[in-house]
Amino acid sequence: MAIRKMTLGSEAETVALAQAMAVRARAGDALLLSGNLGAGKSTFARAFIRARAGDASLDVPSPSFTLVQTYELDPPVTHFDLWRLTGPDDVAELGLDAALAGIALIEWPDRLGPLAPREAITLALGWGEGNTRTATASGPDALLERLMR
């Protein structure tokens, strides 16, 4: 299990990280996005999806109320926001297994409990000193190396 820590000086650097990872992502990849409210999870997800779609103006609403939004790209990208769920029992009907055949972005992955994919990158976003943000990526060595080089 590898760990990589970064300081992101601005929201633009969070966007750049998402764009770089989007280029390298492929079917079967899952990104578990954790962090407090306002840490940049949705910013990361929007930038990732827009980069995969090749459309910087693509409307990418937060799935806070719908819980899941799928983008018919190649491969499909599914964005989950599990904030409103209380635990793994609420996940069954969301289509997680099918989403994992494409690329899955999962905000609030702690709600998955034992259903969390084992072969995934966990990206913990937070606040550093001043106005900086931090990102700590962890996951299987080969996957982290491919997505974060």
User: Structural domain boundaries of the chain?
Assistant: 2-148
The span from the CA of 71 to the CA of 91, in Å, is 19
pLDDT at 9: 85
Question: Is residue 10 scored above 80 in pLDDT?
Answer: yes
| DSSP conformation letters of 91-140 | TGGG-HHHHTTSEEEEESGGGGGGGS-SS-EEEEEEE-STT-EEEEEEE-
Question: Which fold is adopted by the domain 2-148?
Answer: Rossmann fold (3.40.50)
Phi, psi of 69, rounded to the nearest 5 degrees: -140, 125
Cα atoms in the Cβ-side hemisphere of radius 13 Å centred on 19: 11
- The dihedral built from the CA positions of residue 39, 47, 107 and 3, taken in this order, carries a sign that is negative
pTM of this prediction? 0.94
Q: What are the pLDDT digits (tens) for 91-142?
A: 878 999 999 999 999 999 999 999 999 999 999 999 888 878 899 999 999 9
